[in-house]
Structure 1
Amino acid sequence: MPASLLHLEDRLTCLSLIPAVGGSIANWSSKQTGQPLLRPSDQQALNSGSPRRLACYPLAPWSNRIAEGGFECPDGWLALSPNTDHDAYPIHGSAWQQAWHVAEHSSSHAHLTLNSNQPFAYRAEQHIELRDGRLSIRMRVTHLDAHPAWHGIGLHPYLPRTPQTQLCAAAQTVWKASDDKLPNTQCAIPPDWNFSQLKPLPDELVDHAFGGWDGTCLITQADAGYQLACQVSGADYFLLYCPVGSDFFCFEPVSHPINAHHLPGKPGLRLLQQGQSTELEFSLHYQPLTQAEGGD
């Protein structure tokens, strides 16, 4: 039986959640035009039981890939196995592969929780709210295990892509990856990937982490008549994934670069003791372009 949907709305937009499938967002759209603001999930996607077919899912207690079969913690080695059938590395943590609980729900707000024992004990929470066209997600992870461990956090939104889609997200560096999709060099951003000014997405494959981000982003969808103004705190990096020939792209606010557990200084990770927490806040503000151009 397909998992149940939870619905939120404000005066401008409507959103559906699917808590049992990784605490994911299924759809977010404009009420007036019906335009999808995140990649839309049709019935087949909803029935798939996979967050990777949906609109957005949470990343905890790490983002992206971890190499070497695990990572070192103060009390010893934490072994990890691949958690999908499409990747050689454990990817995106464990929160997205578990059912979340609905702690609170109103017409415009939902509080989702997850108590996990994989790969160690932690509690994850999402406060998801709609207000005047702004989707806000506050995500908090609390370490519950008696042994300290390294934590990372993030969100994985999928966004519609057309030839007119443009992105502005100023960063300072990019982590270049080798053929195994793991970063090994931090370097200056090449011109085609420099989004300090609004510009179209590149035609070639991009699947990289960008650092030195100021936490703001603008995504314009001129042919659909709107833009999304993004704001984040608790994440100094974003992952940009642009698959060639696809009708979507991913812009992922994350606290750390790919494979940070094995990079010098473990950039962006936090070593949490029992009871300590880490938090990320992310908002996407829907603005019709006529309204945005008028300065509202």
Structure 2
Amino acid sequence: MSQEDITLTAGDAEVTLQPANGGRVGGLRVAGVQLLRQGDRFGCFPMVPWCGRIRDGRFRDGADVHQMPLNSPPHAIHGTARDGAWNIARTTTDEAVLTYDLVAPWPYPGRITQIAALTPDALTLTMSVETYDSSFPAQIGWHPWFHRTLDGGEPVRLDFAAAWQEERGDDHLPTGNRVEPRPGPWDDCFGMPDGVDVTLTWPGQLELKVASREEWVVVYDEQEAAVCVEPQTGPPNGLNTVPRLVTPLEPLEASTTWSWRRL
């Protein structure tokens, strides 16, 4: 059964999970300060079974072409699981396990499991996509909306060193060319072959690191209220360009850890 919000606590950190609202992290408080933008569409939602945009909402799997709803015309964006209600598999004071069974419009059966584990100075989110039937391409990612300012302080600074930037076309999708990283503002995908490592610093208040073993991250800072640092298993339109196959023997798994320290 889908259930009410879950609250995890560890030290002075508190995380709210919203199973009924796409399995998202609804909030993260550190010493009472909310780090995530509030609202039904914000917090941090799982991007699965794909991340970012799919060109024209279409992806190919072998000879089959599948059409996803164009929820960001002319493209489909951010997967289907954020639109569904997730189930609570188990929960403790500082950890919760949520599951979501893939349904139409996604054409393949499968199960997504997301684990949220909180410590006093870090939150780790782990996700897997499993199938017991046909194989299919998939992606995993997370889309957090971090407040640009905390309690009226200075705006957040973003620090990262990417090996490349995926050149963005007029349609907001990667062209396939890799270019030298360019200054922001960004709605862009960057490559970090040694793993995602991005530091957000709210001067005099908090430093937070977003880390993942994956090598792609989308950085979005074009809105006034929030900035997004989105680790993911492939670039936008990756179902078509860099497909990762989920098979009955091999699930797709990924994780990200946000660790913080007070300044």
* Aligned residues of 1:217 and 1:229 also touching (Cα < 8 A): yes
Task: Note the C-alpha offset of 1:88.
Answer: 2.3
Alignment map for 1:196-275 (pairs within 5 Å):
202=184, 204=185, 206-214=186-194, 215-223=196-204, 225-233=205-213, 235-244=214-223, 246-263=224-241, 266=242, 269-275=243-249
What whole-Å deviation, never above 9, does each CA across 1:202-258 have from its counterpart, x for those lacking one? 4x4x111111343222111114x111122212x2100011114x1201000011111
2:157 is matched with which residue?
166
1:176 is matched with which residue?
167
For 1:275 and 1:257, locate their aligned partners in 2 and report how far apart those are by CA, in whole Å.
Answer: 24
* Aligned residues of 1:170 and 1:213 also touching (Cα < 8 A): no
Task: Note the C-alpha offset of 1:191.
Answer: 4.7
* Aligned residues of 2:219 and 2:230 also touching (Cα < 8 A): yes
Q: Which amino acid aligns with 2:246?
A: L
Q: Which amino acid aligns with 1:58?
A: P
Task: Note the C-alpha offset of 1:159.
Answer: 0.7
Three-state SS of the structure 1 residue aligned to 2:82 is helix
1:122 is matched with which residue?
110
Larger Rg belongs to: 1
2:6 is matched with which residue?
6
Of all paired residues, the percent bearing the same amino acid is 26
Alignment map for 1:1-296 (pairs within 5 Å):
4-31=4-31, 34-39=32-37, 41=38, 45=39, 50=40, 52=41, 54-82=42-70, 84=71, 86-118=72-104, 119=106, 120-146=108-134, 148-162=135-149, 163-192=154-183, 202=184, 204=185, 206-214=186-194, 215-223=196-204, 225-233=205-213, 235-244=214-223, 246-263=224-241, 266=242, 269-289=243-263
* Aligned residues of 1:101 and 1:112 also touching (Cα < 8 A): yes
For 1:8 and 1:262, locate their aligned partners in 2 and report how far apart those are by CA, in whole Å.
Answer: 37
For 2:176 and 2:245, locate their aligned partners in 1 and report how far apart those are by CA, in whole Å.
Answer: 24
For 2:141 and 2:188, locate their aligned partners in 1 and report how far apart those are by CA, in whole Å.
Answer: 15
Three-state SS of the structure 2 residue aligned to 1:96 is helix
For 1:124 and 1:156, locate their aligned partners in 2 and report how far apart those are by CA, in whole Å.
Answer: 16
In the superposition, the TM-score normalised over structure 1's length comes to 0.80
Unaligned runs of 5+ in 2: none
* Aligned residues of 1:74 and 1:149 also touching (Cα < 8 A): no
For 1:282 and 1:76, locate their aligned partners in 2 and report how far apart those are by CA, in whole Å.
Answer: 32
Task: Note the C-alpha offset of 1:105.
Answer: 0.8
For 2:95 and 2:57, locate their aligned partners in 1 and report how far apart those are by CA, in whole Å.
Answer: 38
* Aligned residues of 2:90 and 2:96 also touching (Cα < 8 A): yes
Q: Which amino acid aligns with 1:250?
A: C
For 1:145 and 1:60, locate their aligned partners in 2 and report how far apart those are by CA, in whole Å.
Answer: 18
Moved segments of 4+, more than 4 Å: none
Task: Note the C-alpha offset of 1:153.
Answer: 0.8
* Aligned residues of 2:50 and 2:239 also touching (Cα < 8 A): no
In the superposition, the TM-score normalised over structure 2's length comes to 0.90
Task: Note the C-alpha offset of 1:190.
Answer: 4.1
Q: Which amino acid aligns with 2:235?
A: P
Q: Which amino acid aligns with 1:237?
A: W
For 2:26 and 2:137, locate their aligned partners in 1 and report how far apart those are by CA, in whole Å.
Answer: 29
Q: Which amino acid aligns with 1:167?
A: L
Q: CA 1:102–1:219 in structure 2 vs 1: closer, same or farther (change >3 Å)?
A: same
Worse overlay, 161-170 or 107-116: 161-170
For 1:124 and 1:237, locate their aligned partners in 2 and report how far apart those are by CA, in whole Å.
Answer: 20
* Aligned residues of 1:213 and 1:238 also touching (Cα < 8 A): no
